[in-house]
Amino acid sequence: MSENGNLILLVDDEEDLVLALKARFLAAGYEVEVARDGLEALQKARSVEPEIIVLDVMLPKMDGFKICRLLKFDSRYSRIPIIMLSARGQEIDRETGKKAGADEYMVKPFDSALLLQRIRELIRSEQ
Amino acid sequence: MGLINKKAEFVVTKGVLENSLVGTCMGLLVGLAIRGFFPRLNEINLDWVIFILIGLLIGIASGFERDRKQVLMRRKAQLEAEIRQSRVSLLTTEERYKNLFNYANDIILILESDGRFAELNPKFEEIFGYSANEWLGRSFYDLLTSNCRDEAIKNFWETLKGGNPRFILDAVQVRGGVVNLSCASSPVRDAEGEVIGAMIIARDISESKNLEELQNRFVSHASHELRTPLTAMREFVSLLVDGVVGEITEEQKQYLGRVESNIDRLSRIIDNLLLMAQADEEKITLDKRLLDLSELLRQVRGDYQAAAAKKNQELILNLEGELPRFHFDPDRMMQVLINLLGNAMKYTPDGGKIELGARCEKGIVTAWVKDNGVGIDPEQHERIFDRFQQIRDGHKFGRKGAGLGLAISREIIRLHRGRMWVESQSGVGSCFYFSIPVSQAPKILLVDDDPDLVEMYKDFLAPYHYRVEVAYNGEEALEKARSQTPDLMVLDVVMPRMNGYEVIGRLQESAQTCNIPLVILTAYGLDQKRLNGLGHRLIPALHKPVSMNEFIGAVRDSLGENSEENPARSAIQ
């Protein structure tokens, strides 16, 4: 993995979850950039060019679905895999996530081992 | 009650005799008196007998008269009493009706036969904010939201025909708010018994409906809010357990494990609450795929083998024959199996035996989870499927659940068009079953005016598990073609009143029936031109008398079934 080949952009407004996930990702050997609202997420996705984005659905300023759509329909960023996290478990949300172009959709509370596994797989498939 | 009995005057009744006796005595006295006062009358040589006779005559005559008067007086008194009585009861009835109408806590609407308001009670004004007077004479339908007018018309007509329908309508208040009304309607009749209108008693159920919605919204909102902190908690715990932030002792790890399993338990309860709320709003969607249920059973058994072994429970898999693949939601089905198996393990003592099983019969897959545990009293067999219910003394068997598992499992099975039930005996064990129809056998509509032939065709079809409907004339055939949606019709051409050609023509008129394949039966030649002209999907006609092989062959051809196959298996396709 190259020096910047393991950067995760973590987008969530839930401070505790950010802290826990960040620790988990760092422990697994990833670099982590954090964004706490929709606009920051969009800016950072464009400026730091992460390997993967872990994106919460319910965010201040702009929701996760919209961010996902904006990135996935922009050819410069569409290659970046996106894993959406949501507290909502309804099938409708899953559908919306898929339609927005998310590569993976996980419902909170999720299994962090599974999340790490999917991150690994998605980054590998990109390279 | 004839006021005067004309014949009574000359009938010798007891009253007449009594009165006559009195009269006669009086007559005799009069006779004696006359004789005493006019002693000279003796000189006219009248005998005593005459005086006595006069006395008798006067007596009898007065007897009749007095009796008649007495009878009349009695009758009069009786009638007067009756009139008083009925006036009182009339007043009470009217009073009662008025009270009912004015103070009822439900809206009472009296409608003319054309649907206009004839009477409206004060509750109407209270609920809607309109004045009753401004609505008298206006149409009932104007009060309703446009989407429920058809429902209102349908039920109003049913009432006019003498029915007592119950239905739910939405009506609009003066301020534009919508009121949900639960209505019970009954016909209003005139003195001759003719229906001249309808009385609708309507209850405002908006509040309970809103409350229900609010409750579901609350549950679904609360469970979303609860999940987020749980996710963070779980993350921190698993960071500690995994030693990401430094080594921990075995004991610390054990305790953290407890925290983790409690987080899981809490999140399962939240999931179930959310699912139940979704079920009420009919928002559960199934992600159905064509799969093999026995695979799922094997997987569950594999997953729980270790847990069962810990309790020395024997966990066996009993698949009675092969199961057909069918469409189901694997995640939800897994949830059902885990729930049933979890219950079985919980309520079965150590060393017990638990069986997971399944079979397929006549296109219905039945699966079960059977144990030899504590069992359930028969009177609890239905109750345990209710929400928030636990079996009696359930707490003795370890951790209490929320009591939602079986309710949700049954709901999931119901959504798969199946049903779930339990057979159990206290102290012997329980067996929870669920069955799901995996395929519907094709439905065949037989149309022939000869009942004997219909019976014969039914016999032909009997070994094939088809669903068979019959019609004995053209009208009935059309009606059943619409109501029963058969997959195939077997149609006789020559029938009284409406012949086969006409039936085909009419089938063509409706999108619902124009594509039903037909096997045509005829004793004579067919008017092929006329048939072609009808444009229906044509099946080679069969000539009567038809042999069984011909008949079955044509049926299966037109259903697109492979005729090589073993008849017994054809039902499950």
pLDDT tens digit sequence for B104-130: 999 999 999 998 999 999 999 999 998
Nearest to B238 among A17, A108, A112 (CB): A112
Decide: residue B210, CB within 10 A, 0-12 exposed, 13-18 middle, 19+ buried.
exposed
Euclidean distance between CA atoms B117 and A17, whole angstroms: 63
- Give the pLDDT band (50/70/90) at residue A4: low
Choose from B235, B286, B408 for mutation: most chain A CBs within 10 A: B235
Stretch 8-37 of chain A: residues touching chain B, C-beta under 8 Å? 14, 16-17, 19-21, 23-24, 27
* pLDDT over threshold 90, residue B185: yes
3-class SS letters over B422-449:
EEEECCCEEEEEEEEECCCCCEEEEECC
Tell me the mean pLDDT in the region B349-363.
88
Euclidean distance between CA atoms B241 and B134, whole angstroms: 74
Which residues of chain B make contact with A110, given a CB cutoff of 8 A? Answer: 231
> Are the beta carbons of A20 and B227 separated by less than 8 Å?
no
Q: Which homologous superfamily is B104-204 in?
A: PAS domain (3.30.450.20)
> Are the beta carbons of B235 and A20 separated by less than 8 Å?
yes
Which residues of chain B make contact with A90, given a CB cutoff of 8 A? Answer: 278, 283
H/E stretch holding B241 reads: helix B206-241
Q: Give residue A90's pLDDT.
A: 55
- The 8-class DSSP code of residue B325 comes to P
- Would you state the torsion angle of the CA atoms of residues B392, B395, B398, B400, taken in this order, to the nearest 10 degrees? 100
Q: What are the beta bridge partners of residue B360?
A: B365
- The 8-class DSSP code of residue B144 comes to B
> Are the beta carbons of B244 and A89 separated by less than 8 Å?
no
* pLDDT over threshold 50, residue B229: yes
Residues sharing a CB contact under 8 Å with residue B193, sequence separation 6 or more, in sequence order: none
> Are the beta carbons of A14 and B244 separated by less than 8 Å?
no
Whether ipTM > 0.85 holds is no
* pLDDT over threshold 60, residue B391: yes
Q: Is the pTM of this model over 0.80?
A: no
Lowest mean pLDDT of B180-184, B216-220, B269-273, B412-416, name the range: B216-220
Q: What angle do CA B537, B555, B512 make, to 5 degrees?
A: 40
- No. of helices (H) and no. of strands (E), chain A: 5, 5
> Are the beta carbons of B229 and A16 separated by less than 8 Å?
yes
Q: Give residue B7's pLDDT.
A: 47
Q: Kindly report the backbone phi and psi dihedral angles of residue B109, in degrees, each rounded to the nearest multiple of 5, phi listed first.
A: -115, 125
Q: Which of B261, B224, B331, B283 is nearest to A85 (CA)?
A: B224
* pLDDT over threshold 50, residue B565: no
Which residues of chain A make contact with B283, given a CB cutoff of 8 A? Answer: 90
Residues sharing a CB contact under 8 Å with residue B562, sequence separation 6 or more, in sequence order: B556
More confident residue, B451 or B567: B451
* pLDDT over threshold 60, residue B132: yes
Cβ-based neighbour number of residue B397 at 10 Å: 17
Residues sharing a CB contact under 8 Å with residue B258, sequence separation 6 or more, in sequence order: none
- The 8-class DSSP code of residue B404 comes to -
Stretch 33-92 of chain A: residues touching chain B, C-beta under 8 Å? 87-92
Per the CB < 8 A criterion, the answer to whether B216 and B280 are in contact is yes
- Give the pLDDT band (50/70/90) at residue A58: confident
Nearest to B235 among A87, A88, A112 (CB): A112
Euclidean distance between CA atoms B353 and B430, whole angstroms: 11
Domain segments of chain B as ranges: 6-99, 104-204, 210-280, 289-437, 443-559
On the question of a common fold for B210-280 and B289-437, the answer reads: no
Kind of pairing between the strands at B326-328 and B289-291: antiparallel
Q: Give residue A88's pLDDT.
A: 59
CATH of B443-559, one of 3.30.460.10, 3.40.50.2300, 3.40.50.300, 3.30.70.360: 3.40.50.2300
| CATH class (in words) of the domain with range B210-280 | mainly alpha
Q: Is B561 helix (H, G, I), strand (E, B) or coil?
A: coil
Q: Which of B256, B212, B215 is nearest to B234 (CA)?
A: B256
Q: Residue B497: which region, alpha, beta or left (left: phi > 0; alpha: psi -120 to 50)?
A: left
Q: What angle do CA B91, B93, B96 make, to 5 degrees?
A: 105
> Are the beta carbons of A108 and B245 separated by less than 8 Å?
no
Question: Quick one: fold of B289-437?
Answer: Heat Shock Protein 90 (3.30.565)
Give the distance from residue B412's alpha carbon to the nearest chain A alpha carbon, in angstroms.
Answer: 15
* pLDDT over threshold 70, residue B236: yes
H/E stretch holding B368 reads: strand B364-371
* pLDDT over threshold 90, residue B285: no
Euclidean distance between CA atoms B367 and B358, whole angstroms: 4
Cβ-based neighbour number of residue A23 at 10 Å: 17
Closest residue of chain B to A12, computed from CA coordinates: B228
> Are the beta carbons of B228 and A92 separated by less than 8 Å?
no
